[in-house]
Structure 1
Amino acid sequence: MATDLVNTAPVVRRSTGEVLVEPPDLERFLTEHEVRPDALARTGTPSDDDLEEVRTLRQEARTLLEAAAEDELVDGATALIRRAGVGPTLQRDGQGRWQWYVTTAPGAPLADELAVLLGTGLLGALRTLSHDRFRHCASQECDGMFVDTSRAGRRRYCMPEVCGNRQNVANFRARQQRR
């Protein structure tokens, strides 16, 4: 989710611009990621302030993804968790399956709840995959970020269906022109 949030920025989406323009855009992002923060249970929908705070969090997440040293990433992700984190719990979901739930402090703002989720996810990815799996998109047209979760560790694009496809089309056209 951290990389997906980072990749909503206008610096990444050069051709389409900002993805999180209005609070309903943030609500859609949360729904797509199946995130149901307590803050929205209290307020119903994200506010303009929530949107601005999440955009700030987005830049913080990018800074962590670009961290040169593992310790810097760990310190930053731990700070995100401490904003509102209470601790993880294992509970059954609606289908009876065991799921991890990250518990946050009562009354925590939306951005702090997301910070806890992002920090937890980044630490899990670092521990499981290693720091060298945190990468920039290889496309010259994109400034996106991703965590390479592929088995072989050879993923090159933040959104293979977009950035990878563009590169493949460009390579195809270049080959056709050389003929």
Structure 2
Amino acid sequence: MTDERAPGLVLHSPGGTRFHFDPGTLCLELLPTGGPGPYARYEVLHRPADLADWAGRSRLGLAPDAVRITEGQLTAARTLRDALWRLTAARAAHGAGAGDPADYAVLNHAAARPPLAPRIAPDGTTAAPLPGDGDQLASTVARDAIALFTGPYADRVRECGADDCQLLFVDTSRPGRRRWCSMERCGNRHKVRALRARRDQHEAPGEHEA
């Protein structure tokens, strides 16, 4: 059962199964909305309202009607997302310093604009940012990505360990042994396969049996 109050997103597998995916940071929450090359078939950011909806479902918790997004800003956000996809995948595969300089330029360009203004709630917790526009939203995502790539968890950017899953995350757990995008999905599937393999091995006839 998914906990929609937990940080992260509720995604749907190709088979329609709902599962909770927490990539560990804001910028990586943007990646499941689509992406470059083969990931374009998963595109969900077709209209400015789609990006505003994502902002509400992300860990920003920004009310969709509180962010103004133009068609041009939507295009820029998709460009940023695609560059971030390539950079994150390169980091996961090859470590720090990997990635196309052109993609870093896209990231830096987006981060150069003013971000969404942070706020604090009366109880001392983080409140939803002030209303803003698509450029501010993209800047906030880009700055989060730069903080990730230059911060203490830069060497924990990983791709899900399942052969048929390309979801990317940062492992912020204390032991640093996270392997799966979600224990609900790929982690559980791995457990089921391992259990079946052990059962089949146990049931197989011994070498000296006729």
- TM superposition score normalised by structure 1: 0.67
Q: Which residue does 2:188 correspond to in 1?
A: 165
Does the Cα contact within 8 Å between 1:137 and 1:146 map onto a contact in 2?
yes
Q: 1:81 to 1:51 in 2, by over 3 A?
A: closer
CA displacement 1:65-106 (0-9 Å, x = unmatched): 124564567x83443311x226x866432x3426488889x7
What is the rounded CA distance, in whole Å, between the counterparts of 1:63 and 1:132 in structure 2?
16
For structure 2, list consecutive stretches of 5 or more residues without a partner in the other structure. 1-25, 204-210
Of 128, 133, 137, which aligns to 2:160? 137
Deviation at 1:148, TM superposition (A): 0.8
Mapped to 2, the partners of 1:116 and 1:51 lie a distance apart of 13
C-alpha distance in structure 1 between counterparts of 2:130 and 2:145, whole Å: 16
Aligned residues: percent identity?
A: 24
Give 1:94-109 correspondences, 5 Å limit. 95-97=122-124, 99=126, 108=133
Partner of residue 92, structure 1: 120
The corresponding residue for 1:20 is 44
Of the structure 1 ranges 135-144 and 21-30, higher mean CA displacement relative to structure 2 is found in 21-30
Retained in 2: the 8 A contact 1:89–1:101? no
- C-alpha distance in 2 between matches for 1:28 and 1:59: 19
State the Cα distance separating 1:142 from its structure 2 match.
0.5
Question: Which position in structure 1 is the counterpart of 2:110?
Answer: 80
Work out the CA distance in 2 between the residues paired with 1:20 and 1:9.
6
Classify the secondary structure of the residue corresponding to 1:62.
Answer: helix
The equivalent of 2:33 in structure 1 is 8
Instruction: Give the Å deviation of 1:113.
Output: 2.6
CA separation of 1:90 and 1:113: change in aligned 2, threshold 3 A: closer
Aligned counterparts of 1:90 and 1:7: Cα–Cα separation in 2: 25
Total equivalences in the alignment: 165
| Distance change (3 Å), C-alpha of 1:81 and 1:18 | same
Gaps spanning 5+ residues in structure 1: where?
none
Cα deviation, residue 25, structure 1: 4.6
> Which residue of the partner structure matches residue 147 of structure 2?
124
Matched position secondary structure for 2:181: coil
**C-alpha separation between the residues in 2 aligned to 1:148 and 1:36?**
25
Shift in CA distance, 100/140, structure 1 to aligned 2, threshold 3 Å? same
Which entry has the higher C-alpha Rg, 1 or 2?
Answer: 2
8 Å contact kept, 1:19–1:25: no
**Deviation of the 1:22 alpha carbon:** 4.5
Which of 1 and 2 has higher RCO (CA within 8 Å, sep 6+)?
1
CA contact (8 A) 1:30 1:36 kept: yes
Aligned AA (2:120): R
Asked if structure 2 preserves the Cα contact closer than 8 Å seen for 1:148 and 1:154, the reply is: yes
State which of 57, 72, 87 in structure 2 corresponds to 1:32: 57
Residues 32 and 152 of structure 1: is their aligned pair in 2 closer, same or farther, counting only changes over 3 Å?
same
